[in-house]
Amino acid sequence: SAVISQKPSRDICQRGTSLTIQCQVDSQVTMMFWYRQQPGQSLTLIATANQGSEATYESGFVIDKFPISRPNLTFSTLTVSNMSPEDSSIYLCSVEEWQGIYGYTFGSGTRLTVV
Amino acid sequence: RKEVEQDPGPFNVPEGATVAFNCTYSNSASQSFFWYRQDCRKEPKLLMSVYSSGNEDGRFTAQLNRASQYISLLIRDSKLSDSATYLCVVNPSHLPNKLVFGAGTILRVKS
Protein backbone atom coordinates (compact mmCIF):
# COMPACT_ATOMS: atom_id res chain seq x y z
CA SER A 1 0.00 0.00 0.00
CA ALA A 2 0.99 3.64 -0.35
CA VAL A 3 3.45 5.05 2.15
CA ILE A 4 2.44 8.46 3.47
CA SER A 5 4.87 10.74 5.28
CA GLN A 6 3.22 13.46 7.33
CA LYS A 7 4.96 16.19 9.23
CA PRO A 8 5.26 17.60 11.74
CA SER A 9 4.18 14.67 13.88
CA ARG A 10 3.26 17.01 16.68
CA ASP A 11 3.42 20.67 17.58
CA ILE A 12 2.43 23.06 20.31
CA CYS A 13 1.38 26.45 18.97
CA GLN A 14 0.33 29.79 20.34
CA ARG A 15 -3.21 30.95 19.69
CA GLY A 16 -3.53 33.30 16.76
CA THR A 17 -0.68 31.68 14.80
CA SER A 18 -0.87 29.31 11.84
CA LEU A 19 0.58 25.86 11.24
CA THR A 20 1.14 24.15 7.90
CA ILE A 21 1.05 20.37 7.81
CA GLN A 22 2.69 18.51 4.95
CA CYS A 23 1.72 15.19 3.44
CA GLN A 24 3.97 13.33 0.99
CA VAL A 25 2.92 10.13 -0.76
CA ASP A 26 5.32 7.69 -2.41
CA SER A 27 3.09 7.28 -5.45
CA GLN A 28 0.87 9.46 -7.58
CA VAL A 29 -2.70 9.67 -6.34
CA THR A 30 -5.67 11.52 -7.75
CA MET A 31 -7.35 12.52 -4.53
CA MET A 32 -5.98 13.30 -1.12
CA PHE A 33 -8.14 13.84 1.92
CA TRP A 34 -7.65 15.77 5.13
CA TYR A 35 -9.31 14.63 8.34
CA ARG A 36 -9.53 15.93 11.87
CA GLN A 37 -9.82 13.75 14.95
CA GLN A 38 -10.70 15.72 18.06
CA PRO A 39 -9.85 14.27 21.46
CA GLY A 40 -11.91 11.17 22.19
CA GLN A 41 -13.82 11.41 18.94
CA SER A 42 -13.76 9.80 15.56
CA LEU A 43 -12.52 11.22 12.30
CA THR A 44 -14.25 14.03 10.45
CA LEU A 45 -13.46 14.88 6.85
CA ILE A 46 -12.26 18.46 6.40
CA ALA A 47 -11.76 18.57 2.65
CA THR A 48 -10.81 16.69 -0.49
CA ALA A 49 -7.77 17.94 -2.40
CA ASN A 50 -7.45 17.36 -6.14
CA GLN A 51 -4.39 18.38 -8.08
CA GLY A 52 -4.99 21.41 -10.25
CA SER A 53 -8.25 22.52 -8.68
CA GLU A 54 -9.50 24.07 -5.48
CA ALA A 55 -10.13 21.78 -2.58
CA THR A 56 -13.70 20.76 -1.79
CA TYR A 57 -14.64 21.52 1.80
CA GLU A 58 -17.15 19.71 3.95
CA SER A 59 -19.87 21.49 5.87
CA GLY A 60 -18.44 23.40 8.80
CA PHE A 61 -14.98 23.86 7.26
CA VAL A 62 -13.93 26.88 5.21
CA ILE A 63 -10.97 27.73 3.03
CA ASP A 64 -9.98 30.80 5.03
CA LYS A 65 -9.52 28.69 8.14
CA PHE A 66 -8.06 25.58 6.48
CA PRO A 67 -6.34 26.55 3.21
CA ILE A 68 -5.09 23.55 1.27
CA SER A 69 -2.51 23.26 -1.47
CA ARG A 70 -2.12 20.40 -3.93
CA PRO A 71 0.76 21.33 -6.25
CA ASN A 72 1.26 17.82 -7.67
CA LEU A 73 0.02 14.26 -7.48
CA THR A 74 2.22 13.26 -4.55
CA PHE A 75 2.02 16.20 -2.16
CA SER A 76 -0.46 18.33 -0.25
CA THR A 77 -0.46 20.79 2.61
CA LEU A 78 -3.13 21.81 5.10
CA THR A 79 -2.79 25.06 7.02
CA VAL A 80 -4.64 25.63 10.26
CA SER A 81 -4.97 29.41 10.42
CA ASN A 82 -5.48 31.81 13.30
CA MET A 83 -5.50 28.93 15.74
CA SER A 84 -7.53 28.74 18.92
CA PRO A 85 -7.51 26.02 21.61
CA GLU A 86 -10.57 24.47 19.90
CA ASP A 87 -8.29 23.56 17.00
CA SER A 88 -6.31 21.21 19.24
CA SER A 89 -6.73 17.93 17.47
CA ILE A 90 -5.04 15.27 15.39
CA TYR A 91 -4.95 16.08 11.69
CA LEU A 92 -4.52 13.22 9.23
CA CYS A 93 -4.08 13.04 5.51
CA SER A 94 -5.37 10.09 3.56
CA VAL A 95 -5.29 8.69 0.05
CA GLU A 96 -7.55 6.32 -1.74
CA GLU A 97 -6.00 3.27 -3.30
CA TRP A 98 -6.97 -0.05 -4.76
CA GLN A 99 -6.63 -2.85 -2.24
CA GLY A 100 -8.92 -5.32 -3.95
CA ILE A 101 -11.56 -2.73 -3.29
CA TYR A 102 -10.94 0.98 -3.00
CA GLY A 103 -9.61 1.53 0.50
CA TYR A 104 -8.05 4.42 2.29
CA THR A 105 -4.58 4.69 3.77
CA PHE A 106 -3.77 7.30 6.40
CA GLY A 107 -0.68 9.23 7.31
CA SER A 108 0.54 8.94 10.87
CA GLY A 109 -1.12 12.21 11.82
CA THR A 110 -0.13 15.56 13.30
CA ARG A 111 -0.98 16.05 16.93
CA LEU A 112 -1.64 19.77 17.41
CA THR A 113 -2.00 21.48 20.74
CA VAL A 114 -2.94 25.16 20.79
CA VAL A 115 -2.18 27.05 23.98
CA ARG B 1 -29.49 10.43 14.21
CA LYS B 2 -25.78 9.94 13.46
CA GLU B 3 -24.88 8.60 10.03
CA VAL B 4 -22.88 5.75 11.55
CA GLU B 5 -23.52 4.51 15.07
CA GLN B 6 -21.49 2.11 17.14
CA ASP B 7 -21.57 0.90 20.70
CA PRO B 8 -18.57 2.72 22.23
CA GLY B 9 -17.81 -0.06 24.70
CA PRO B 10 -15.35 -0.68 26.15
CA PHE B 11 -15.60 -4.41 25.65
CA ASN B 12 -13.39 -6.13 28.20
CA VAL B 13 -12.83 -9.77 27.27
CA PRO B 14 -10.40 -12.52 28.25
CA GLU B 15 -7.94 -13.98 25.81
CA GLY B 16 -9.54 -16.61 23.62
CA ALA B 17 -13.01 -15.11 23.82
CA THR B 18 -15.24 -14.39 20.86
CA VAL B 19 -16.48 -10.82 20.63
CA ALA B 20 -18.88 -9.14 18.22
CA PHE B 21 -19.26 -5.47 17.34
CA ASN B 22 -22.29 -3.97 15.68
CA CYS B 23 -22.73 -0.87 13.60
CA THR B 24 -25.76 0.75 11.98
CA TYR B 25 -25.80 3.33 9.19
CA SER B 26 -28.55 5.71 8.19
CA ASN B 27 -28.00 6.22 4.45
CA SER B 28 -29.60 3.34 2.56
CA ALA B 29 -27.72 4.37 -0.59
CA SER B 30 -24.34 3.65 1.00
CA GLN B 31 -22.05 1.75 -1.31
CA SER B 32 -18.97 0.62 0.56
CA PHE B 33 -18.32 -0.51 4.08
CA PHE B 34 -15.15 -1.04 6.05
CA TRP B 35 -13.80 -1.89 9.45
CA TYR B 36 -10.71 0.04 10.50
CA ARG B 37 -8.55 -0.54 13.53
CA GLN B 38 -6.97 2.34 15.43
CA ASP B 39 -4.36 1.75 18.08
CA CYS B 40 -3.80 4.35 20.76
CA ARG B 41 -2.10 7.44 19.34
CA LYS B 42 -1.84 5.86 15.89
CA GLU B 43 -3.59 6.38 12.58
CA PRO B 44 -6.51 4.16 11.51
CA LYS B 45 -5.57 1.12 9.46
CA LEU B 46 -7.86 -0.86 7.22
CA LEU B 47 -8.82 -4.14 8.85
CA MET B 48 -11.22 -5.41 6.23
CA SER B 49 -13.76 -4.37 3.69
CA VAL B 50 -17.30 -5.66 4.14
CA TYR B 51 -19.06 -7.36 1.27
CA SER B 52 -22.74 -8.17 0.87
CA SER B 53 -22.05 -11.88 1.03
CA GLY B 54 -20.01 -11.53 4.20
CA ASN B 55 -16.31 -12.14 4.32
CA GLU B 56 -13.78 -13.77 6.55
CA ASP B 57 -10.10 -13.12 7.11
CA GLY B 58 -8.57 -15.52 9.60
CA ARG B 59 -10.13 -14.87 12.98
CA PHE B 60 -12.18 -11.95 11.70
CA THR B 61 -15.60 -12.17 10.04
CA ALA B 62 -17.55 -9.21 8.71
CA GLN B 63 -21.23 -9.26 7.78
CA LEU B 64 -23.44 -6.73 6.01
CA ASN B 65 -27.23 -6.65 6.19
CA ARG B 66 -28.44 -4.04 3.73
CA ALA B 67 -32.11 -4.48 4.61
CA SER B 68 -31.44 -3.62 8.25
CA GLN B 69 -28.55 -1.22 7.43
CA TYR B 70 -26.38 -3.11 9.83
CA ILE B 71 -22.73 -4.19 9.80
CA SER B 72 -21.01 -6.53 12.20
CA LEU B 73 -17.48 -7.65 13.02
CA LEU B 74 -16.80 -10.91 14.80
CA ILE B 75 -13.42 -11.66 16.33
CA ARG B 76 -12.72 -15.22 17.37
CA ASP B 77 -9.99 -16.43 19.73
CA SER B 78 -9.16 -12.89 20.88
CA LYS B 79 -5.49 -12.03 21.36
CA LEU B 80 -3.96 -9.38 23.58
CA SER B 81 -2.81 -7.66 20.41
CA ASP B 82 -6.42 -7.24 19.28
CA SER B 83 -6.85 -4.52 21.90
CA ALA B 84 -7.66 -1.36 19.96
CA THR B 85 -10.52 0.85 18.85
CA TYR B 86 -12.52 -0.58 15.95
CA LEU B 87 -14.04 1.96 13.61
CA CYS B 88 -17.04 1.24 11.44
CA VAL B 89 -16.70 3.23 8.23
CA VAL B 90 -19.23 3.84 5.49
CA ASN B 91 -18.93 5.42 2.08
CA PRO B 92 -22.40 6.99 1.68
CA SER B 93 -22.07 7.28 -2.08
CA HIS B 94 -19.55 6.32 -4.67
CA LEU B 95 -19.17 9.89 -5.93
CA PRO B 96 -17.58 11.89 -4.47
CA ASN B 97 -15.47 9.56 -2.41
CA LYS B 98 -16.17 10.31 1.16
CA LEU B 99 -15.90 8.24 4.30
CA VAL B 100 -18.10 8.61 7.34
CA PHE B 101 -16.59 7.20 10.51
CA GLY B 102 -18.37 5.79 13.50
CA ALA B 103 -17.13 6.91 16.89
CA GLY B 104 -15.44 3.54 17.40
CA THR B 105 -15.74 0.59 19.76
CA ILE B 106 -12.99 0.05 22.30
CA LEU B 107 -11.81 -3.54 22.78
CA ARG B 108 -9.59 -4.56 25.65
CA VAL B 109 -8.37 -8.14 25.68
CA LYS B 110 -6.94 -9.25 29.00
CA SER B 111 -4.89 -12.27 30.03
Kindly identify which residue of chain B lies nearest to residue A39, measuring between CA atoms. Answer: B41
Q: How distant is the Cα of A40 from the closest Cα of chain B, in angstroms?
A: 9
Give the pLDDT score at B96.
57
Smallest Cα–Cα separation from A91: which of A65, A64, A52, A54?
A: A65
| Structure confidence by residue, pLDDT tens digits, B20-69 | 999 999 988 888 899 999 999 899 999 998 988 889 999 999 999 999 99
| Structure confidence by residue, pLDDT tens digits, A61-87 | 999 999 999 999 999 999 999 999 999
Q: How distant is the Cα of B99 from the closest Cα of chain A, in angstroms?
A: 8
The residue that leads in pLDDT, B110 or B92, is B110
B99 in reach of chain A (CB within 8 A): yes
Q: How distant is the Cα of B80 from the closest Cα of chain A, in angstroms?
A: 22
Mean pLDDT estimate for chain A: 93
Q: At residue A94, does pLDDT exceed 80?
A: yes
Burial class (CB within 10 angstroms; exposed 0-12, middle 13-18, buried 19+) of A108: middle
Phi, psi of A78 (to 5 degrees): -125, 130
Using a CB-CB cut-off of 8 Å, the residues of chain B touching A43 are 44, 87, 99, 101
Nearest Cβ partner for B34 among A56, A58, A103: A103
Q: Which residues contact B4 (CB under 8 A, 6 or more apart)?
A: B23, B24, B25, B26, B88, B89, B90, B100, B101, B102
* A42 to B32: CB separation less than 8 angstroms, yes or no: no
**Would you tell me which residues 51-80 of chain B have a C-beta closer than 8 angstroms to some C-beta of chain A?**
none
| Structure confidence by residue, pLDDT tens digits, B90-108 | 987 655 567 899 999 999 9
